[in-house]
Structure 1
Amino acid sequence: MSAIVWLNGRLLDIADAHIAPNDRGFLLSDGLFETIRVANGQTPHLARHLARLEEGCAILRLPSPDRTLLTQAISDLLHATNLSDGSLRLTVTRGTGPRGLVPPATPHPTVLIQGTASTMSVPAPVRLGLSRYRRDGASPLARVKSLACLLSVMSRMEAVAAELDDALLLGTTGAVAEASAANILFLREGRLQTPLIADGALPGTSRARLLDGGFCMEGRLLPQDIKTVTGAWLVNALSLTAVSGIDSHDLSLHAELDRRLRAFLFSA
């Protein structure tokens, strides 16, 4: 795959793609991103990602890039790079601005699209630990894919230092919210559930598809209820990963349910 990116309307070699030093995304994390799966040269769930991007832009009062422009940009980048399987990272910032917090009256967003090649493989099961960091489900920022990812970075670092694979964050409500970079599915009493948006869960695209498809329901899970969980999976746009345990609580692996979930999420 060629090292080519799409930046503000142009296909460029990555060495020639430059972001301005006074870009608010660089200085203030003032922007959003989407991670989009590519399969057989196509982006099967692009409409969901662009809809979420538009919703996030509205929350941040950030002009949303034209959907037709983004769709064509993605097509052009896939063609230029010959990317068949992997992912795209779509980043939108408020663009350049004067020093300080107040943005320019008429912002000119920076839009960057990058591709990464990868093969679709089944990840090994992971073990999670409860993090000391919390997500505020009452904050509008909990509902967008913000560039401000330090909470996730710090929780993942903490988990790795404890010789775990990932962190499970609680919300400010005290209930389970999500992992550092994925939603979570819990199997309880034979039924799948996923945490509430109000408890800090990001409205993930794969999470929404599973809810729409009737594979799971929303439900609140408190830390003391983890012992009632018999299985769990981390899920995002790119992967489904079985969870082998949460702190000292071991979980079973459910091969048939895993197969059904994986077929639904990634067969197209």
Structure 2
Amino acid sequence: MIIYLNGKFIDSKKAHISPFDEGYLFGKGLFETLRSVNGGLPFLNLHIDRLNNSLRFFGIKINESKAAFHSILKHLLKANRLTEAYIRITVSSGADNKPTVLIYVKKLPEIPKKYLTNGISVMISQASRTKGSITSGHKTISYLENITERESALKTGYVNALILDCSGEYAVECASANIFAVKNNAVLTPDLSSFPILPGITRQVVIKLAKELELKTIERKILFIELVDADEVFITGSLNGIIPVNRIGKYKIGKPGKITALIANQYIKKAINLVK
């Protein structure tokens, strides 16, 4: 596998980082995961904008520009002979005031068809989100809580985990996705200001698409009891796009609905059109 590390394209087997890298020692860093579509990078600019915003917030400076990221990824896709790829960009504060920039691509795992046709089940997480967190709204490499909850979900027969606020009354986000509800043909999702929610790229695109489809779209605090009473529920993420939810814990949501399918189809069309 050819990867990009600190300005060079090298074989992954020859790659190394400093043992004093602050990303390794303290989890001080950020990352982006995205996918390529037919060899193109439909939402790359949005990912780099989010990454740069977080880098500024945490005071990490890198040399790679938006154009450079595009060129690097195109080179990696070609070098690794991939068109449909999982892409990971990681930036840490590094060592000796020199940040570490690591980028790799690999074959994109296929989404099980049953996820799309039947929906997935989501467990209720033991973790919670508090208004005081300064990191939850950023995609930091301090990802242990999210990974632990996602792994717990998979071990117990679920696919993802819904995280509530500390009161247990409000839905916030999933361990590795944003969450949406559909009620009376209106599309709802937790707003970014009430709790420190990751501003997901697919979330951003879906909100825009829903408005273009002239669907009533609302960003606000969503009670957990509202969520499990919704007509439809779906989650969003950059790797899997839009995945319908048929169950949350013991609460049955039902089969994937028409609004979810409509938005999912528009999302796919958008991604394909952007790489033509």
When normalised by structure 1's length, the TM-score is 0.88
Question: How far off its partner does 1:120 sit?
Answer: 5.7
159-168 or 40-49: which moved more?
159-168
Question: How far off its partner does 1:74 sit?
Answer: 1.4
Q: Whole-Å Cα distance in 1 between the matches of residues 37 and 100 of structure 2? A: 26
Matches within 5 A, 1:228-247: 228-239=229-240, 240-247=242-249
Match of 2:208 among 202, 208, 212: 212
172-181 or 182-191: which moved more?
172-181
Q: Whole-Å Cα distance in 1 between the matches of residues 154 and 43 of structure 2? A: 31
The answer on 1:142 being equivalent to 2:143 is no
Q: Note the alpha carbon deviations across 1:183-235, whole angstroms, 9 max, x for none.
A: 01111232111112222321000111122231542122222333421211111
Q: Note the alpha carbon deviations across 1:112-133, whole angstroms, 9 max, x for none.
A: 1110212664461211121121
Name structure 2 gaps, 5 residues minimum: 272-276
Decide whether aligned partners of structure 1 residues 65 and 263 sit closer, same or farther in structure 2, where only a CA change above 3 A counts: farther
SS in 2 for 1:94: strand
SS in 2 for 1:140: coil
- Tell whether the 8 Å contact from 2:202 to 2:236 is kept in structure 1 after alignment: yes
- Tell whether the 8 Å contact from 2:35 to 2:108 is kept in structure 1 after alignment: no
SS in 2 for 1:199: coil
Q: Whole-Å Cα distance in 2 between the matches of residues 123 and 92 of structure 1? A: 35
Q: Note the alpha carbon deviations across 1:68-94, whole angstroms, 9 max, x for none.
A: 322221122122112101221000001
The answer on 1:115 being equivalent to 2:105 is yes
State the number of aligned residues. 257
When normalised by structure 2's length, the TM-score is 0.86
Decide whether aligned partners of structure 1 residues 72 and 247 sit closer, same or farther in structure 2, where only a CA change above 3 A counts: same
SS in 1 for 2:128: strand
Runs of 4+ aligned structure 1 residues displaced above 6 Å come to none
- Tell whether the 8 Å contact from 2:232 to 2:260 is kept in structure 1 after alignment: no
Q: Whole-Å Cα distance in 1 between the matches of residues 254 and 39 of structure 2? A: 35
Matches within 5 A, 1:43-122: 43-67=41-65, 68-97=67-96, 107-118=97-108, 121=111, 122=113
Q: What's 2:274 paired with? A: none
SS in 1 for 2:222: coil
Match of 1:183 among 174, 178, 187: 178
Match of 2:32 among 34, 45, 68: 34
- Tell whether the 8 Å contact from 1:32 to 1:56 is kept in structure 2 after alignment: yes
Match of 1:5 among 3, 6, 10: 3
Q: Note the alpha carbon deviations across 1:150-176, whole angstroms, 9 max, x for none.
A: 111222233344432221001246411
50-59 or 118-127: which moved more?
118-127
Give, as a single letter, the amino acid of the residue that structure 2 aligns with 1:188: K
Q: Whole-Å Cα distance in 1 between the matches of residues 152 and 86 of structure 2? A: 27
Q: What's 1:262 paired with? A: 264
Q: What's 1:101 paired with? A: none
